[in-house]
Structure 1
Amino acid sequence: MNQTTWTCADFESLCWHDNHVHGFMIREGDYGAGQLILDLDYILEWRCGVDKICSFMLAPADLVFEEVTNLLIGIDFRGISMGPLSIGEIRRETIEHTEQFRQYRWTIAFNFPNGEITFLAPGFFLELRASPMERPHQSLTWEERQRLPAAGQTIRPDDRSLSAPARRSTF
């Protein structure tokens, strides 16, 4: 597979189940909207044999939602150890404000730990940051994730022209 970038138009063909989120960032934008950026290990392919032993083709990726508003984050780590979040599913519901303006109500539901992120946004893009690797687990180790771009390089939005990072909150 040579594809490294997907958009909202590809939503139905993308699988989010068991993708691990290692962090997220909120980047302030204009008029109260901004970007929600998830740092995740995207599983491109599940390779399961007849013996039911699976391996996974995965790569570190940025999932970037544009013009985000109405953000609500609820994640419960009480009583469990800290680790990456595991996505159960990502759902979207169409919200049509006018014939020319449509956005979606997004829900990112986690299967571990318990929780979800909900918000409004017109779309997203998903971009791999490294070549896919075949691994026996559904997430990459810290060492495997170090093949990422050097600090100071920026995540490129759809227009591919974002320069230095704006004010941001990293969690």
Structure 2
Amino acid sequence: MDVDEESGLTKAVWSDADFERMGWHDVTVHGVYVQRTEDVLPRLLFDLDYVVRWVHPVPPETYFSFWVAPSTLVFEEVWDLEGDLDFKGLGVDLELDALHRLTPEDDRPPWHGVPLWHMEGRSFDLRFRASGFRQYIRQPPRHSRRLSLTHAERGGPSFAETAYA
């Protein structure tokens, strides 16, 4: 994939190696899936509207606009998943405030050095250990006045692990 100059997107597949260059503030979560695998540990998948870039308003506009893309965020080898979900479903989206990568304070073998991930957002708070992640940008970013795309714009829910070309 070439750089999408309008949106500023530089690649369509990201990983935990890119963590410091990424941000998940105000990212809408459309779905969560705990996927059992043939390995011992499951995978944790999120269907997101990833905010690629915030666009400052140009007068006479007074509100930000956004470059948003449907994405799948996949955490590998997940364990110790815990948290709270306080979602009432009354027209409120699950929305991320931040994703943190923390260093666990314990030395539990054989997982020493594996990060603790903390996802906090409106109506939920999750903590889990995972060996890493990949994020797949499934469609080219769209310029939008909203932080999330409609069902039709994003092609419905998806946990596809394919990036657009």
TM-score (ref. length: structure 1): 0.77
- Among 58, 64, 70, the alignment partner of 1:60 is 70
Which contiguous aligned blocks of 4+ residues in structure 1 show a shift greater than 3 angstroms?
Answer: 95-101
Mapping for residues 17-96 of structure 1, pairs under 5 Å: 17-30=25-38, 32-51=40-59, 52-78=62-88, 81-95=90-104
Amino acid across the alignment from 1:119: F
Q: Which residue of 2 aligns with 1:161?
A: none
Q: Which residue of 2 aligns with 1:109?
A: 120
1:99, 1:77 → 2: CA distance?
A: 35
Q: Which residue of 2 aligns with 1:164?
A: none
TM-score (ref. length: structure 2): 0.80
Higher strand content, 1 or 2: 1
Query: Is there any run of 5+ residues in structure 1 with no aligned partner, and where?
Result: 157-171
1:53, 1:46 → 2: CA distance?
A: 10
> In the comparison of the two structures, how many residue pairs are matched?
150
1:81, 1:148 → 2: CA distance?
A: 19
Query: Is there any run of 5+ residues in structure 2 with no aligned partner, and where?
Result: 5-9
Q: State the superposition RMSD in angstroms.
A: 2.5
1:54, 1:154 → 2: CA distance?
A: 29
CA drift of 1:88 comes to 0.5
